[in-house]
Structure 1
Amino acid sequence: MDTDKKAKIFLLAARKRKKSTTANYLLSTDPTNLSREGDGYCAKVRSNALGTHFTIYDNGHNPKKTDNQFSIRQELAAVIYETNVLGFKGPRKMTVIMPGIEPGNDSKPAVRCIHRPVLEKHTLLEKNRSGDTNSLKVLTNKSPQWNDETQSYVLNFHGRVTQASVKNFQIIHPNSPEYIVMQFGRVSEDEFTMDFRYPLSAVQAFGIAMTSFHGKLACE
């Protein structure tokens, strides 16, 4: 993270688990120990077999592997990738689903809702699929516009992203398309930049960014 004084502060690191057949990233606040046993382990990102549906969990346990309801993992967000009406040649469509936020007032701050499903039908992905989203926040990516000069789809990153990539995206609320909740994109061959703000936390934003790196058999 860059501060106003141009100093760099470490926030999070991620490691892909090689033995997993699907996308499986561990997120840690400790860059020297990116293991499940490390003190910095704070979240993980898992995908389906096609790499089109992702869930970002905290460091809790699978509900099938624990009897303690308070140790069951929380779902922090879910991400869905789809092809658009142009098929494989067009930009990817993203949907981000996250637990809702209880609004605050003068006497109390806003509070993030805890989403700790035990049954599959209560997961963020399943609630979105069934249309049960009243208690959730559903965001989407801003649609790129076709540029005849560059012969490509482009977004205005205001100088923060400098190279074209299928991984570049901006996340918005459908009702407020000019309020960029998050943007992510390439600035060099192996370097990307990420900006985020309310209602996303750093872990949610970093987890969403990790989903962009995994191959999507149904979208590419």
Structure 2
Amino acid sequence: MTIKSIIHDMMWRRSHRVVGDAADHDMAGGSSPTCCWANLPQELLREILAKIEAADSAWPSRRSVVACAGVCRSWRQITKEIVKVPELSGYLTFPISVKQPGPRDYLLQCFIKRNRSTQTYHLYLSLTNALADDGKFLLAARKCRRATCTDYIISLHSDDMSKGSSTYLGKLRSNFLGTKFIVYDGQPPHAGAKMTRSRSTRLANLKQVSPRIPFGNYSVAHISYELNVLGSRGPRRMQCVMDSIPASAIESGGVAPTQTEFLFSNADSFPSIPFFRSKSNRSEKFLSGPLACQKDGVLVLRNKAPRWHEQLQCWCLNFHGRVTVASVKNFQLVASPENGPAGLEHEKIILQFGKVGKDLFTMDYRYPISAFQAFAICLSSFDTKIACE
């Protein structure tokens, strides 16, 4: 019997076990059929889980690693210790991975599918080098028009995109003209984060699971598009101020805040995977890295200036084959000179976004931003900009 079949058998038994039957079984002096596996010696269990993690390095086979974390508390703890953050491994394994910075050495390839009829957007992790494949679902967003602004609600679940949901991650809000945006995180991005009070925040607090965990809107980025007053043709000019990332994060040895667990309810669980929550509610345990209020300031990103191609008679950027359709929405973000003296770090592309089909777009990102932050920035490009074009 292979370890994978053992895991699947244990998961099936846990999901189909009836409470009454289990109680009667315990009273009769019997033991749970999963105890022999749940109580494996720690050294042996760690070695087994490490081999599974090393063997299943890509989706969909990587779901075995997630299944291991859903067996019991001890399995989950060891699995979390073995699985490295995306910055080090380049893998998106658990739901919290979308809140953690991407790899340092290369761009993590993703793509976005747009549904015009439902005004929804779905983010997928690319499984191959192709511009589009089946992908691994990561995030979903729904556009909500209001009288004076537009909100994009971002969720872990494609069928439940509401602020009251346990899968709610944050939102993107635009002004009336679509020239300025604010990215809000649903939980503190770092230990010193300040919450933005609003009516929706007060309503959400009524459903709060723990009073020690401040639920609300935490500003993590400000995005602005330059006004095109003269109506001249050309690419959009944008700037992103990353409120929760210090400017030193792009330097060699720099560190960006990294969330290690969700703070709310069952937001860290996959459907049908019974994860266990930590008993501690202290937010300091779930956050690592520097605060955004450091003296060296926050990270500022700007779009890389395209060049005019005389033969094609259009503005061009080198997306290395990841973008195939010309669009005003296409952009590449690099560190702004405002972060300090220009160096090699300022030339690295941190986020690139471009069109490859009618409703299909590629999104590639790297350290120090996360998939959640990158997705929110790309959503701002979809919004109509009356004064920028």
Q: TM-score, normalised by structure 1?
A: 0.79
Select 1:63's aligned residue among 197, 219, 222: 197
- Partner SS, residue 375 of structure 2: helix
Matched, 1:15 2:184: no
Runs of 4+ in 1 over 4 A off after TM superposition: 4-7, 64-69, 83-87
Could you tell me how far 1:111 is from its partner in structure 2?
4.3
* Cα 1:84/1:64, change in 2 over 3 Å: closer
Given candidates 209, 219, 224, the residue that maps to 1:75 is 219
For residue 2 of structure 1, what is the aligned residue in structure 2?
126
- In the alignment, the residues of structure 2 paired with residue 155 and residue 103 of structure 1 have an alpha-carbon distance, to the nearest angstrom, of 27
- The within-5 A match list for 1:45-64 is 45-59=172-186, 62-64=196-198
Amino acid at match of 2:388: C
2:322 alignment partner, one of 160, 171, 176: 160
Q: Which amino acid letter does the alignment assign opposite residue 126 of structure 2?
A: D
Secondary structure of 2:308's aligned partner: strand
Residue identity (%): 41
Displacement after TM superposition at 1:22 (Å): 1.7
Amino acid at match of 1:184: F
Greater C-alpha radius of gyration = 2
Amino acid at match of 1:2: S
Tell me if structure 1 keeps the 8 A contact 2:304–2:334: yes
Q: Which has the higher strand share?
A: 1
Distance of 2:145 and 2:138 partners within structure 1:
23
The 1:185–1:111 alpha-carbon spacing in structure 2 relative to 1, beyond 3 Å, is closer
What secondary structure is seen at the aligned counterpart in 1 of 2:348? Answer: strand
Gaps of 5+ in 1: 115-132
| TM-score, structure 2 as length reference | 0.46
Q: RMSD of the alignment, in Å?
A: 3.0
1:101 positional shift: 3.6
Moved more, 73-82 or 158-167: 73-82
In the alignment, the residues of structure 2 paired with residue 85 and residue 168 of structure 1 have an alpha-carbon distance, to the nearest angstrom, of 21
Closer, same or farther in 2 for the Cα pair 1:44/1:219, shift >3 Å? same
Cross-structure match for 2:313: 151
Alignment CA distance shift 1:181-1:23 (3 Å)? same
What's the offset of the Cα at 1:183? 0.3
Unaligned runs of 5+ in 2: 1-124, 188-194, 206-210, 260-294, 337-341
Contact preservation (8 Å) 2:245, 2:368? no
Cα 1:71–1:34, aligned 2, differ >3 Å: closer, same or farther? closer
